[in-house]
Amino acid sequence: MTAKVELVSIVIPTLNEAGNILEAVTTIHESLTYPNEIIIVDGNSTDGTQEIVKSTNFCKLIIEPRRGYGRALKTGMENAKGDVIIMVDGDGTYEVKHINRMLDKMIQENADLVLASRMYDPNKAMGFFNFVGNKIITFCFDFLYSQYLSDTQSGFRAISHEAINNVNLVEGDMAFATEMLIKFKKRNYKMVEIKSTYKIRKYGKPKLQKFKSTIEIFTTMVKGLINK
């Protein structure tokens, strides 16, 4: 990882996030002190998300009609010009104000990936089932891949663009996030965390199906062990 960050590309997937996206991008735009571009990858939302994004003069909008969280992130990353990519959801659930801390940590630690761990949230905003599911997945990941992370399912990450270009990510949905950690670990890329918090979704519905995602995540972990 470089010790200097010239440009940060923030990649945000959105699917019907009209009630959440403006606050998320405005907070990032106002708090981020590093030179940046904000890329929204929208899955053809029908609730006015695209119009809201266009109404800001600081976001680049990409339409990705193919379904999938991972697919959208991949498309955004392919269009990113920064030497560091930050991925984060557009649903207002992550504490995006921690974005500078994340980049500071990346530079200090010379890390290839920084995760914002939601496990230190004093308000315990994450729902019970999400919390337990996340704990089980994270325990399995840490055990199987000899890594210590506290929140493998965090979708708020800073990633070296060079590192992400060196791994081939194929998962199109939620398992994309786990596949990334597995492939980074295999290449010995340095992964660290910052303590962050979490907020419950204020508007709209979850788009990701929890049961299907859990099966895909476990399948991805097993595939990672088989394919050396």
Binding site for ligand GTP (CB under 6 A): 13-15, 17, 41-43, 64, 67-69, 72, 89-91, 93, 201, 206-208
Nearer to ligand GTP by Cβ, of 68 and 224: the residue is: 68
For Mg ion, which residue of 17, 89, 171, 173 counts as binding (CB under 5 A)?
89
> Shortest gap between Cβ of 198 and ligand GTP (angstroms)?
9
| Residues in binding contact with Mg ion, number by CB under 5 A | 3
- When CB distances are held under 5 to 8 angstroms depending on the partner's kind, the choice from ligand GTP, Mg ion, none that residue 196 binds is none
**Stretch in the footprint of Mg ion (CB under 5 A) among 28-36, 81-89, 137-145, 214-222:** 81-89
> Shortest gap between Cβ of 147 and ligand GTP (angstroms)?
22
d(CA 82, CA 11): 10
Q: Which residues pair with 59 in a beta bridge?
A: 38
- When CB distances are held under 5 to 8 angstroms depending on the partner's kind, the choice from ligand GTP, Mg ion, none that residue 95 binds is none
> Shortest gap between Cβ of 74 and Mg ion (angstroms)?
18
CB burial of 165-202 (b: ≥16 within 10 Å; e: otherwise) equals eeeebebbbbbbbbbbbbbbbeeebebbbbebbbeebe
Whose structure tokens read 């904000």? 38
Q: Which residues pair with 199 in a beta bridge?
A: none
93 binds Mg ion (CB under 5 A): yes
d(CA 183, CA 181): 6
Q: Which residues contact 174 (CB under 8 A, 6 or more apart)?
A: 69, 70, 208, 213, 216, 217
- When CB distances are held under 5 to 8 angstroms depending on the partner's kind, the choice from ligand GTP, Mg ion, none that residue 208 binds is ligand GTP
- When CB distances are held under 5 to 8 angstroms depending on the partner's kind, the choice from ligand GTP, Mg ion, none that residue 14 binds is ligand GTP
Token pair listed for 172: 């199109």
DSSP 63-99: E--S--HHHHHHHHHHT--SSEEEE--SSS-B-GGGH
Q: Residue numbers of the site for Mg ion (CB under 5 A)?
A: 89, 91, 93
